[in-house]
Amino acid sequence: MSKTCSRTRSANFPRSITKSSKVCNNTRSFPATSVNSSRQKLTFGQRLSDRIASFGGSWRFIILFGAVLFGWIILNAIFLLNRGFDPYPFILLNLILSCLAAIQAPIIMMSQNRAEARDRLRAENDYEINLKAELEIRHLHEKIDHLLRRQYNRLFEIQQIQIELLEELGRKG
């Protein structure tokens, strides 16, 4: 339970302030959890797919893959005089690229689904924290309003006493 919720209940505040204790009780069911804690519970396949996806979406992969493609083409077309293991329309290269794309796409999608789940958890945590902050601010506003009402009442009482004293002085003088 937050400090504001417990202070609100224990203080002599108007009923409107203590009504929000239902909301205070509801915020206890919103623990702020770490988004990174789900990272530790990943299986070997999930960790592997995250690594493959992070490597597959990097400049290092693009440069390395470009170099392999360039080397493949140069080796088969120029050095082996188009009589290499994969001559000019490079059918074997196309087959390898298609297989790589067919395997890499679902792996990247699995990694993106986990990233989406982490983002969803992060958004829920942000919402809960914002809700708690809003409640704290609302409680502070209500407390300040209560204090201002008490102060206005006290000033009104002081003003009444001053008026009575002035009337008494006016009768004597």
8 Å CB contact between 17 and 143 = yes
Say what the pLDDT of residue 23 is: 45
> CA–CA separation, 28 vs 156, rounded Å?
41
Provide the whole-model pTM: 0.57
Q: Which residues of the chain have pLDDT under 50?
A: 1-2, 4, 7-23
> CA–CA separation, 128 vs 122, rounded Å?
10
- The residue range of the domain holding 83 is 3-172
Could you give the number of structural domains in the chain? 1
Say what the pLDDT of residue 35 is: 57
Say what the pLDDT of residue 130 is: 97
pLDDT in tens, 69-81: 999 998 888 888 8
The DSSP letter of residue 79 is I
pLDDT in tens, 19-48: 444 445 555 555 555 655 555 688 998 899
The average confidence (pLDDT) of the chain is: 83
